[in-house]
Chain A
Amino acid sequence: MAVSTDNNPRSKRRGAEAPFADQYRDWLRTMLLIRHFEERAGEAYSIGQIGGFCHLYTGQEAVAVGTISALRSDDYIVSAYREHGQALARGMTPNSIMAELFGKATGCSKGKGGSMHLFDFAKGFMGGHGIVGGQIPLGAGFAWAAKYRKTDQVSLTYFGEAAANIGSFHEALNMAGLWKLPAIFVIENNGYGMGTAVKRAAAITDLYLRAASYGMPGVEVDGQDVVAVRQAMDAAVARARAGEGPTLLDIRCFRYVGHSMSDAASGTYRSKEELDASRMRDPIALLEARMRDLDLLDDATLAAMDAEVIAEVAASVVFAEESPDPDPSELWTDVYAPEGQ
């Protein structure tokens, strides 16, 4: 495939010449779905339909879509607690995710996981995990299993830039590099771990440089641009499948909302100006512009697509509302494997 290195979406390129042009429509739809899903999740949270912690993904859509679109259906994905968007990008249904957020029996984890613990084993979605960095060795473990079984599956692990400071990051990346595991480690570098800016927590703020310590390439990626994310991911996947080992992607992005629902989007640890500036390069708007440039999108198509995902999300809320709570007996199931398994 001829991949253009021209990243300027304003240059006039015709459909076939632009990288991934045939996928843009799907990507845009998924990014819109994530955006609207998170808006509705936020509303549902504010009226008490969703409990506990709820960490929204708004603003980071290009990261999930750009990375996951490069994977095969038998590859593995593992993430932290900010994983609704990735679960949607992986093709888990809004119904199964919204129902999980509502704690219902129809949720992807039977209502026992919640916002932070979305799982779909059949889709290789190996969970959202709530301990910062705890999922990083797990991702290396899936890669280990792929290498052990001599499949050419890859394992994609997401975590925030704050998680890159915890011991599990260093231990897992060191072993992944040492053993050339087919792993891709994605730092979703949104600049803040809760209220702590990266420069207040990391001795070096260019986190991709850390890859050098673990014998793997480290790549800085523009996380607002889904095409840039996808191109970086393609290179990482190719390396992993070829047995050349892991890659660390430092994907710069921005979360539009607070760390969790209890936290304001701006005004405390980051300024309104900073937030507004980031919104100037909105990942969805950037993709829209790219598509319009290629005559792949017009107002009517966009409006129809938008209406479609809004309806899909609305339906998921209805589905979640109408779904039953788990049977009380479910309290006691799934602690151990059923006898005889």
Chain B
Amino acid sequence: MAVITYRDALNQALREEMQRDGDVFLMGEEVAEYNGAYKVSKGLLEEFGPMRVVDTPIAELGFAGIGVGAAMVGLKPVIEMMTWNFALLAIDQIVNAAAKVRYMSGGQIGCPIVVRGPGGAALQLGAQHSQAFESWYAHIPGLKVVMPATPADAKGLLKSAIRDPNPVVFIEGEMLYNLKGEVPEGEYLIPLGKADIKRAGNDVTIICHSKTVAPALNAAKSLADEGIDAEVIDLRTIRPLDEAAILASVAKTHRCVVAEEGWAFAGVGAQVVDLIQREAFNDLDAPVLRVTQADVPMPYNKHLEKAAKADAGKISAAVRRVCYKD
């Protein structure tokens, strides 16, 4: 299997889906002539031409809405947001139009759009450029929310997202684009809504997604040295949430830590905790703990920024607590 970057895996997924389906097109700021702000669309303009790889003005609301309109009449737009911070300007079209049109029309009109781009914090970009918004979109019935953590998942999930008849919010990790991993070539799909056991274990479940998967795996490795055998579950899709995978793991390990990049308040982890207390209360040997970003706008200073972020050390500490090893 080829070892490629997360960025190139996304590029392969786009290329393959555009080759196989003439209704798929990519639109966004700098996606064509500049090859993408993060180079995810490298080479696509050359291969598919300017009707299918479309540079837009800086007008997130407008081009998201053009994508939604095109999807309502059967095209399959992939709308690139330079980052999800800027997609806030487009949230009206995503939430009020894309997510609602099937319901409001009594099932007559679908919206097979993918809105994708990098989310979460990179390094020292400050408060307006370092935000994880998955819980905002996961809150909305009608949307699917997908967040790959590895190159293989990035490819398999993006291909499935493009083929999905529903609007999909596809949030890439801004810090993951250079991550390398083995990626199967050719037709390779990962179903939306299926979590992945990234590491099997018996003593505790760590639920994570996107950028917290790597620190969770690092934490699991160091915890193993302390005699704690952690299972790491990567949600991969936030909505629909793979409730069965979460409950099966908790039934096995009886302890759970949820790690995510976003803020704690009304975050994705809150939903996971709610599920576990409702459906697996009797399986639990300890309260479920959450590791999240500090409940503050992201600071610029690198020491403060590190203190604000969820990382392997914080995950390990939470695991020790639920294992009563602290």
Interface 9-mer from A3-11, A102-110, A261-269:
A102-110
Contact partner of A137 among B51, B69, B75, B109, CB < 8 A?
Answer: B69
A142 with B65: in contact, given A109-B106, A334-B106, A335-B142 (CB under 8 Å)?
no
Residue of A nearest to B106 (CB): A110
Q: B109 contacts which chain A residues (CB < 8 A)?
A: 119, 121, 126-127
- Bound CA span A137–B68, Å: 8
- Interface range for B: 35 or more
Tell me the chain A residues, 115-160 only, with Cβ under 8 Å from chain B: 117, 119-122, 126-127, 129-131, 134, 136-145, 147-149, 155
Chain B CB within 8 A of A217 CB: no
Bound: A108/B71 CA distance, A: 21
B residues near A112, Cβ cutoff 8 Å: 103-106
Point out the residues of chain B lying under 8 angstroms from A172, CB to CB.
62, 65-66
Q: Mark A151-188, 1 if CB is under 8 A from B, else 0.
A: 00001000000000001101110110010000000000
- CB distance A145 to B68 under 8 Å? no
Interface size on A, residues (CB 8 A): 48
Using Cβ atoms and an 8 Å threshold, which residues of chain B touch A110? 106-107
Q: Is the CB of A134 within 8 A of B73?
A: no
User: B72, B92, B164: which contacts A142 (Cβ < 8 A)?
Assistant: B72
Q: Is the CB of A145 within 8 A of B65?
A: no
Check if A136 sits within 8 Å of B65, measured CB to CB: yes
Contacts of A337 in B (CB 8 A): 102, 110, 164-166
Interface mask (B77-98 → A, CB under 8 Å = 1, otherwise 0): 0000000000000001100110
A37 contacts partner chain B, Cβ-Cβ < 8 Å: no
Q: Which of B27-78 contact A (CB under 8 A)?
A: 51, 56-57, 59, 61-75
Residue B282 at the chain A interface, CB threshold 8 Å? no
Cβ of B104 and Cβ of A145 under 8 Å apart? no
- The answer to whether A178 and B57 touch (CB under 8 A), given A142-B73, A337-B102, is yes
Are the CB atoms of B104 and A168 closer together than 8 Å? no
Q: List B contacts of A139 (CB < 8 A).
A: 69
Say yes or no: B62 contacts A168, CB within 8 Å: yes
**Max chain B C-beta neighbours (<10 A), residue from A78, A168, A333:** A168
Query: Which residues from A are CB-within-8-Å of B63?
Result: 137, 171, 175
Shortest C-beta distance, B300 to chain A (Å), equals 29
Establish whether residues A141 and B70, one from each chain, have CB atoms under 8 Å apart when the complex forms: yes
In the assembled complex, how far is the CB of residue B2 from the closest CB belonging to chain A, in whole angstroms? Answer: 32
> Of the candidates A108, A145, A341, which one forms a contact with B74 in the assembled complex, judged by CB atoms under 8 Å apart?
A145
The reply to whether B66 and A334 contact each other, CB–CB distance below 8 Å, is: no
Q: B109 → chain A, closest Cβ, in Å?
A: 5
Interface check A76, CB cutoff 8 A: yes
The reply to whether B165 and A341 form a contact with Cβ atoms under 8 Å apart is: yes
A171's partner among B61, B67, B103 (CB-CB below 8 A) is B61
Does the CB pair B102–A134 fall under 8 Å?
Answer: no
**Contacting residues, chain A, for B97 (C-beta < 8 A):** 129, 131, 134, 138
- Report yes or no: B51 in contact with A127, Cβ–Cβ below 8 A: no
User: Which partner residue on chain B sits nearest A168 by CB separation?
Assistant: B61
**A149→B164 CA distance, assembly (Å):** 21
Residue numbers in A under 8 Å from B142 (CB-CB): 335-336
Contact A113 B67 (CB under 8 A): no
A120, B66: Cβ atoms closer than 8 Å: no
| Cα distance A87–B94 in the bound complex, in angstroms | 25
B223 located at the interface, meaning its Cβ lies under 8 Å from any Cβ of chain A in the complex: no
The answer to the question of B141 belonging to the interface, with a C-beta cut-off of 8 Å to chain A, is: yes
| A145 near B73: Cβ-Cβ < 8 Å | yes
Contacts A76-B73, A167-B61 given; does A113 touch B106 at CB 8 Å: yes
B23 to chain A, nearest CB (A): 8
A268 to chain B, nearest CB (A): 29
17 CB contacts below 8 A, A to B, read A109-B108, A113-B104, A113-B105, A120-B108, A121-B109, A136-B65, A137-B63, A137-B66, A140-B66, A140-B69, A141-B73, A142-B72, A148-B70, A170-B62, A171-B57, A171-B63, A341-B165
Instruction: State the 3 A-B residue pairs at the shortest beta-carbon distance, nearest first.
Output: A141-B69, A137-B65, A171-B62
A residues in contact (CB < 8 Å) with B: 76, 78, 107-113, 117, 119-122, 126-127, 129-131, 134, 136-145, 147-149, 155, 167-168, 170-172, 174-175, 178, 333-337, 341
Question: 13 additional contacts, CB 8 Å, given A110-B106, A129-B96, A131-B97?
Answer: A78-B69, A117-B104, A119-B109, A126-B73, A131-B96, A134-B96, A134-B97, A137-B68, A139-B69, A172-B65, A175-B57, A335-B102, A335-B142
